[in-house]
Structure formats: structure tokens, C-alpha cells
Amino acid sequence: MTTLKTGDKAPNFSGLDQNGASHTLADYKGKKLVVFFYPKASTPGCTAEACDLRDNYARFQANNYALLGVSADSAKAQAKFIEKYDLPFPLLADEDKSVIQAFGVWGLKKFMGKEYDGIHRTTFVIDENGIIEEVISDVKTKAHAAQILK
């Protein structure tokens, strides 16, 4: 799991979203940034999480937060996810896992007795200067906004 912790400088990531637009840490200087990693677009838990963040998007904006979702899905899958659930924030299509690995959220997982490598559902709250304010590894998919906007 991630070795990043509160007080660390966030990784200087660079990735492309569902439309091919580039996003870097520097793009968000002066804003708080919520980077949420999820295993797979359009699966039940990931949909619940994304929709909870969508439903609270105005609250995030009012508090100077930007949101950025990341998974290893293709840009096409991310675009479908956004379209289907009317998500107002970009989703990085991190197929080469460069952002996922920079944040250290790729690793061994267990599900129904099987072990495999995958994305650990983790959220990083990054302050206006690129410093990690919080790492949420116990994500509550249906109440994730409340975990972030305490």
C-alpha cells in the first residue's frame, strides 16, 4: 500500500483524462485537490463513490476543491462512465499506471479467496501548495464526500 502520508509532498503526476486533456499537480496550485483512485469504472462500488462525490460537487467547489478520479480504465471507458452518471469532474485514464504507481496504490489484493494485483481504493486530499493533507484508505463509497468534507 501507499507509503505517502499526511505532510508529504504529493507526487508531481501527469496524466490524460477521458478527453485526452493533460492534468498535472501544478495545474491545481492554489486549489485543494482530491485525487481519488478507484478499481474500475461503472462497477457498483466505484459508481456509488463517484455519484456521492457528484452529488456533493457544489460543496467541494464552494470550499475551493477540485476533484480528479483515477483508474487504469481506457479513456473510452472513463468517458462512458462520465456520460452515464453525469460526472462533473475529469477521470484520468491511467492505462500505463504511472499516476497509480506514483501514489503507491497498486498492489496485492484479496477478493473471495483469490489474490491478484490491483488498485487499492484510496483518496488523497492535497492542499493548495501540493502537500498531502489527508490519506483516506478506508473509503466509504456511499458517504465519501462526508469523509473528505468534515
In 56-141, which ranges are continuous DSSP H helix? 57-62, 75-85, 98-102
* Active site amino acids: 46
Which pLDDT tens digits describe the chain residue by residue (150 residues)? 678 999 999 999 999 999 999 999 999 999 999 999 999 999 999 999 999 999 999 999 999 999 999 999 999 999 999 999 999 999 999 999 999 999 999 999 988 899 999 999 999 999 999 999 999 999 999 999 999 998
Q: Give the type of residue at 146.
A: A
Is residue 114 included in any domain, yes or no?
Answer: yes
Is residue 9 included in any domain, yes or no?
Answer: no
* Dist CA 64 CA 100 (whole Å): 24
Is residue 83 included in any domain, yes or no?
Answer: yes
Residue-number span of the structural domain to which 143 is assigned: 14-148
Contact 9, 131 (CB under 8 A): yes
C-alpha distance from residue 102 to each of 1, 15, 32, 43, 98 (Å): 12, 11, 19, 24, 6
Is residue 33 included in any domain, yes or no?
Answer: yes
